[in-house]
Structure formats: C-alpha cells, structure tokens
Amino acid sequence: MFTMISSKPHSVRKRMLSNIYSKSYLQSSPHMRLISESILFDRLLPIIQEAVSSDAPIEVHDLNQGLTIDFVSAYLFGLANGTNWLQDAPFRRRVLHYYQGRKPYEFYHQEVPNLVSWTKSLGIRLIPRWCDEANEMLDAWCLDLCDKAEQCLQSTEVSVEPVVYKQLQQAMIKQSSQKENTDESLKQQRLDIACELYDQLTAGFETSAVALTYLFWELSRHPDVQEELRAELLTLEPKILFPRSSASRGLPQAKAVDSLPLLEAIVTETLRLHAPIPGIQPRVTPYPSCTLAGYSDIPANIRVNAQAYSLHRNPDVYPDPETWQPKRWLKGVNSDSDLEERRRWFWAFGSGGRMCVGSNLALQGKLTIVPHIEFPQADIFDYRNQTSNGGHLQQLQDVHRRRRQH
C-alpha cells in the first residue's frame, strides 16, 4: 500500500483493511484486549520491575522497539504467532542490527534504482553485499510470520486468530475470484500479503517506538505533568496496579482510557513536537494538473512533498512551538477556534486518502501503554561517546562505523 503511486489501487487496498483498523472496532476488539493484557502484564511490566529491583538502567528505545513490534505483530498475525522481542532481547537486537544497518543506503533504491543496476553491471556496488544478505534474512523472517498465521486461519480462538492477515487474505481472494487460481497466482498472492504486512509491521513498530521514547523522556522532564496525569489515571477502573493476581489483571475499558483529556493531550503534543516521521512525505500530482499552496497548473506526475516537522512548528498556530506543552490541546484552557486550527495543522499521520491506515492502532497502543509506567528523571547523552552493551545505541554506532568504512 505504501509504495502504490496510483490512487485507485491504493484506495482499493486501504478499503480491504479500513474496518479492522477503525477506532470503534479496535476499542471493542477482544483480540486487542488480550494482546494488551498479555504484552503488558506478562512481558513489559515484569522486565521493568526486575530492572527497578536490581537498580539496573533500561535502554528505553531498544525496549520500546520490542514492545511495539510485539504489539503490532500480535494484531497482524495473532498473539500466538507474533514476535516476542520483549523477552528475547538477543534476537531483537540481531534483527534490528540488520534492519537499522541498511538505512544509510535506502536512498539509492528509492531515488536512483537504475543507477544501482547500471553500476552493479560494471562491477561497482553502491550498496554493499551485506545489505542484500540483510534483506534476504528480513524477507525470510516476515514470510515465516505469514506462514504461521496461514496455519491458523481456521481458528477463532482469540489468542491465535490472525486478525489482519485473515482479513487481507480473504479480501484478496474475493478480489481475484474471477481469475484463475493457478499455483503461480497463489504464490504471488502469498508474496503480496507478505509485502503488505511487512510494510505495516515495520512502519507501525518503528514510528511508535520513537514516539513512546520521546513521550517517556518528556514526562521524565516534567514531573508536574506526570503528577497531574497520575491523578487523572486514578479515576479509571479497575485501578492500574502491578503486580496483580491472575484474577484481577484486567485493563480499564479502552473507551474510558480514550476519554482522558490530559493523557490524550500528552500523546498529541508528543507527536506534534517529536513527529516519528518528521521529514518529507512525497505525493504525485494528479492528471491533468492541480493547484497547491498557491501554485497553479502544476503538471501531472510531479512529485511534491510536505513534512510534519514544518507544519507542526507554525508559531501562528502553535505558540512557542519548540516547547512541549500538552495543555495547548485541552478544552477549557484554549478556545474552540484555536483547538480546531491546531488539529487542522496536525499532520503526524498525514491526511486524506493517504493518511496512515494504522493511526488508530498506534494511538490505542500508546494510550494503553503509557498509564502503566512511571517515569523517573532521564538524561540524554551523545551516543557517539558512550560505551554500549547492546541495544539501539549499538545499532547507531554500527551505522556510523559502516558509513566511515564505505
């Protein structure tokens, strides 16, 4: 879906999944409730409790990557078939090592793919061979997740049923029902599903991990906001406590959490100031021409870009835009017209037909996770001068080392 340039096939693919990503569906989903309870109480909170008990530091971004991929993959492929990166830190770091290490070379395939092929034919590799090996490993990993989900398609058990995989496969079968189902077409369908879910998995976990990390950091720097948030959370039932007995580990209703104004404001302000995708988001102009930002008669098939970073720093809309001020989103503190204008300029998930299909899943995940964690004061250091024992810090240092080598 993310790489579809034409609007029609993109909208067809998006409609296949829009229902199971809707806010109402997610809030009432028994799958989401079980996923949230299992990942929080069985995986995340025990790790944090153990670190607190032993007075050990936690590399938060590394942990958040495990948290968010477990969360997203469980909804895509089923809780029993998804990842368990939170508890399997060595595997998490190995896969992330491959995944993050390719980033300095993404430009070539995205912007000058013909140059890559041409130089390769001359024996010159713009992209090192280990990137190809990393891609092969990641492809095999995603196909394995899909194959596990395929084996559970007939299950209606909440812990097993692959919600997104099942919906996507059924929609694709319906779309191709008039075509001949040959071995080749079924093979292509398997790859199409894997490509779509790989895009959703990586886009969902990476952006959410960035947002959560900045959110934790901002709360750790603003104990006054944290105290107000804690008071708001005490209004929820059942109370958010850990550890809990197995009989009392239920979560507050998703609708109740969603109705907390300060929590929503904290999440929204973090996404404004620290947008997980701050850079350009390209679009292609339609036929025969269009008008954008006061420029008329822009020809068709021209790439244009907008970016959340700039939109979110308009001082006329967001006064003092470089500061983290959750209360700029609260009713009663701001006028209705100001709030409406701020929401209009808010672009963390894009807008229109190309708006992020998983935005509701991302928001519900954050609203579920944040209330369960306290945030002591945190300090941020320049990672280039730090000693790493693994995690995302090691990934960043590896990337810089490889850049120097190539």
DSSP symbol at 366: H
Bridge partners, residue 295, by sequence: 292
146 is in an annotated binding site: no
Cβ neighbours of residue 23 under 8 Å, at least 6 residues apart? 360, 364
Q: Give the helix/strand (H/E) hosting 257.
A: helix 254-258
Q: Which long-range contacts (CB under 8 A, 24 or more apart) does 211-214 make?
A: 211/267, 211/270, 211/271, 211/274, 211/276, 211/362, 211/366, 212/64, 212/67, 212/68, 212/366, 212/369, 212/370, 213/60, 213/61, 213/64, 214/270, 214/273, 214/274
> What is the C-alpha to C-alpha distance for residues 253 and 371, in angstroms, rounded to an integer?
13
Q: State both tokens at 121.
A: 């034919």
**Strand 289-292 relative to strand 295-299, pairing:** antiparallel
Three-class DSSP category at 267: helix
Strand partners of residue 284:
303
Q: How far is CA 350 from the centre of its chain?
A: 14
Cα–Cα distance, 376 to 261 (Å, whole number): 22
Q: Which residues contact 142 (CB under 8 A, 6 or more apart)?
A: 194, 197, 198, 201
Q: How far from chain centre, in Å, is Cα 26?
A: 16
For residue 15, the tally of other CB atoms under 10 A from its CB is: 11
Residue located via tokens 């530091």:
57
Could you give the CA distance from residue 186 to residue 176 in angstroms, rounded to a whole number?
10
- Mark the binding-site residues, compressed into ranges: 356
- Mark the binding-site residues for heme, compressed into ranges: 356
